[in-house]
Amino acid sequence: MAIRAPQSISRKLTWMNMLVSGAALLLACASFIAYDLVSFRSLIVNNLTIRSRVIGANSVSALTFNDPAAAQATLSALQADPNLVSAGLYGADGSLFAAYRRASGLGVDARPPEKIAGDEQTQLSWSDDPGIVVVRPILFQGTRPGIVRMRSDLGALHARLVRYVVIVGVVLAASLVAAFLISRVAQRSIAAPMVELAKFSEQVARDRDYSVRAPAVSGGPEFEMFTTAFNDMLAEIEYRDASLRASHDELDQRVQQRTAELTALNQELEAFSYSVSHDLRAPLRHVSGFVSLLKSHAGASLDAQAQRYLATIGQASARMGQLIDDLLAFSRMSRSTLTRHPVDLGALVREAQAEVMAQVAEREIAWTIQPLPEIAADRSMLRLALVNLLSNAVKYTSARAQACIEVGTIGDARFETVVFVADNGVGFDMQYLHKLFGVFQRLHRVDEFEGTGIGLANVRRIIQRHGGRVWAEGEVDKGATFYFALPRETVS
């Protein structure tokens, strides 16, 4: 089905003026015609009443002396009225005494009835038997010698109605033409300014140039107020747009500045950590070396307590060395280049498992490794993260007679791959979750579980460099589950 195009405002105004003018004129003419028809009908009734009285007065003698010929002669005078259909003169008992009937164009039913009632009445019919019937008694010196009945058709009324319809049609057509011409002229002062403003608004919306202003239009104070308000709105939009652009530029500049400062700060911090860690290794080697020399030189002469002191110094030096090595590895992790390649995650987990189990070959651990997908990742970095997670699970299940560790995936893999490592170890309190992935953050004492607190921090940094995220769930003495999610990318 075809869609009609919206009409312009000028055409709408033209149609509105023509409809309003035509409706008002039509209503006025209809009211005038209705009033005139009612008045004309009353005039016909009055004329018939007068004629009936005249005929009645002239027929008194004919009725008194029973002279139908004289009565017929009196009724024959009614032929001068072309609208009079029939007339009847009735006796006092209501029987037809003399009758008149218009000869042309009438049927038998136009004849007066043979007998009527003597009550005074007026009848009007528009459909079944169109016409007006007037019945009047004849009164003479207090007696009623007879009755007059007259019937007139509605020809005059119909002719008058036709003339009015023709006049109304002509006047209505002339009025609509005049309204159309006046509307076309009025468009210059009403529609034309509105169309001009509408085109200007469309241009502003299309170009998004809020620096322009609507030109002054003629048409009265209302259009001037509208134009002024529209220009004020454009000025406000222009100001806000400029402020927004300035704020955006300022914010972008601040973000770049803060990013540069943060990058420089991270670089300085990493350089500082690397330098400190590297510089600490030399004196630490001296401490370890002199402890070894002291044991070999004077170990036999030292008592048991001195031997414990030397052993404590040696263990502390070894732990300090391990901390420095882990810190150096953590520092190098942020500087190393990340290269993504297709990685068989299942094979990588088993490789990490073998490395971890080589250090605890004497333990019995029940491993459950689910089928794992192929992902795009840096193989060496992801392997280090898996080694740290599996080592963490093995370490914290050491107190269990039967350790259980499970590796698998969960969730919808269309957008990201979520891998979990679950164990039945000692678990942790969830209120300390924020400390798990921090550097040197530990939830257990060193004498309970060994470690430096760098492993999970390394896991978080590796996964974040891949664009992923890490989290954990646990409960004290009921095990823990560590998760990492990597974005799903096309493996090339």
Domain ranges of the chain: 9-179, 203-335, 340-487
Query: At residue 2, does pLDDT exceed 60?
Result: no
How high is the pLDDT of residue 107? Answer: 47
Query: At residue 225, does pLDDT exceed 50?
Result: yes
Q: Is the dihedral of CA 221, 224, 225, 226 positive or negative?
A: positive
Q: Find the angle CA(10)-CA(12)-CA(14) to the nearest 5 degrees.
A: 70
How high is the pLDDT of residue 3? Answer: 44
Query: At residue 481, does pLDDT exceed 90?
Result: yes
CA distances from 268 to 134, 155, 262, 333 (A): 123, 116, 10, 15
Class of domain 9-179: alpha beta
Q: Indicate the range of 119-133, 170-184, 403-417 predicted with least confidence.
A: 119-133
Highest mean pLDDT among 19-23, 120-124, 296-300: 19-23
List the beta bridge partners of residue 132: 124, 152
pTM above 0.75, yes or no: no
Q: Do domains 9-179 and 340-487 have the same CATH topology?
A: no
The per-residue pLDDT for range 302-352, each reduced to its tens digit, is: 777 877 777 777 767 766 666 666 666 666 666 667 788 899 999 999 999
What is the C-alpha to C-alpha distance for residues 287 and 316, in angstroms, rounded to an integer?
A: 10
Q: So what's the architecture of 340-487 in CATH?
A: 2-Layer Sandwich (3.30)
